[in-house]
Amino acid sequence: MTRPEMEQKLLEIVRKEKSLPIESLGSETQLADAGIDSLDALTILFAIEEEFKISIPDDRARAMKTFGDLSNAVAEQVGIT
């Protein structure tokens, strides 16, 4: 899987859990600014972990503030540079 493919999958997961326009999610987009609250973030995180068969450490999950942070955390867990 390439990074663009992974990011596309992440966008699909986020949009499935939270109805957002695709253009509203760029790498610098603050998750809170996109309307993703802490409960949404947990639901999205669980969906990502299930989809990619990974486990993101709690401290890393709490540090995710932007879509780029989310993408980087998943890339690291699945071994994409």
C-alpha torsion 46→24→16→64, nearest 10 = 0
Q: What ranges do the domains of the chain cover?
A: 3-78
pLDDT for residue 18: 82
Q: Is-contact 75 63, C-beta < 8 A?
A: no
Q: Which of 53, 44, 70, 41 is nearest to 1 (CA)?
A: 53
Q: What is the pLDDT along the chain (81 residues), one digit of tens a residue?
A: 899 999 999 989 988 888 877 677 788 988 888 888 989 999 999 999 999 999 999 999 999 999 999 999 999 999 987
pLDDT for residue 53: 95
Report how far residue 39's alpha carbon sits from residue 6's, in angstroms, rounded to the nearest whole number: 23
**3-78: CATH homologous superfamily?**
ACP-like (1.10.1200.10)
